[in-house]
Amino acid sequence: MPSTPADDNVWRGNALPLLNEIRHALERLLATGETTVIDLGALPMGAQDEAELLDALGTGEVDATVDAGGPSSVRETAFHGVWRVTHRNEAGETQARFIEIAFVPELLMSQREDVTDSSNALSKRLGVEQNIRK
């Protein structure tokens, strides 16, 4: 049976420039603390290109799932500070895929608004006066 073009095993070289962009972003993170987010959906990638990219990045120590408006996976790659972030909707369909170069991806950090809500909710539950307001 003829193979489909999508599953061929041909080096096209589309992953290499992206790996270099990630290298530059890591240098920038170290020098200035600036984070970089790369939208994989905006780049010309075939199935093999993406497989090459993911293979080159490997998997690291952290694997987290965020359940907010559907599951999002946050996976550190073998390169510390390089994260794969995949957003899915409640039906589990992929909505967006990013490579985030950061010490901690923003999605993993609790947000000030949510923390304020939590503080107020806990105060209310304990029947004590709320000290923190929005």
Partner 1 sequence: MAIDGPTIAEVLRQQGISRRGFLKFCATTASLMALPPSMVPAIAAALENARRPSVIWLSFQECTGCTESLTRSHSPSIEALILEQISLDYHHTLQAASGTAAEAARKAAMQENAGKYLLVVDGSIPLGNAGFSTIAGISNLDMLKETAAGAAAVIAVGTCAAYGGIPAAQPNPTGAVPVSAIIKDKPVLNVPGCPPIPVVITGVLAHFLTFGSLPELDALGRPKTFYGETIHDRCYRRPFYDQGKFAETFDDEGARKGWCLFKLGCKGPVTYNACATTKWNQGVSFPIQSGHGCIGCSEPGFWDAGPFYKALSMPIGPAKAAVGAAVVAGLAAGSAVALRNRSAKKSAQAAHQKVTVADLEKSK
CB of 130 to partner 1, least distance (A): 18
CA end-to-end span of the chain, whole Å?
63
CB of 123 to partner 1, least distance (A): 18
Contact code string over 11-40 relative to partner 1, x by CB under 8 A: -xxx----------------------xxx-
How many amino acids of this chain bind partner 1 (CB under 8 A)? Answer: 43
The span from the CA of 16 to the CA of 52, in Å, is 9
| Long-range contact pairs involving 81-89 (C-beta distance under 8 Å, separation at least 24) | 81/26, 81/29, 82/22, 82/26, 82/57, 84/54, 84/57
Nearer to partner 1, 32 or 128 (CB): 32
Tell me if 126 contacts partner 1 by CB under 8 A: no
Binding piece for partner 1, criterion CB under 8 A, among 18-26, 57-65, 86-94, 119-127: 86-94
Q: Answer yes or no: are the C-beta atoms of 134 and 113 closer than 8 Å.
A: yes
- Amino acid (1-letter code) at residue 89: N
Q: Answer yes or no: are the C-beta atoms of 74 and 96 closer than 8 Å.
A: no
In the numeric block, which tokens belong to residue 59? Answer: 């998997």
Tell me if 134 contacts partner 1 by CB under 8 A: no
CB of 44 to partner 1, least distance (A): 5
Residues in the site for partner 1, rule: CB under 8 A?
A: 1-6, 8, 10, 12-14, 37-39, 41-49, 66, 68-69, 72, 87, 89, 91, 93-98, 106-107, 110-114
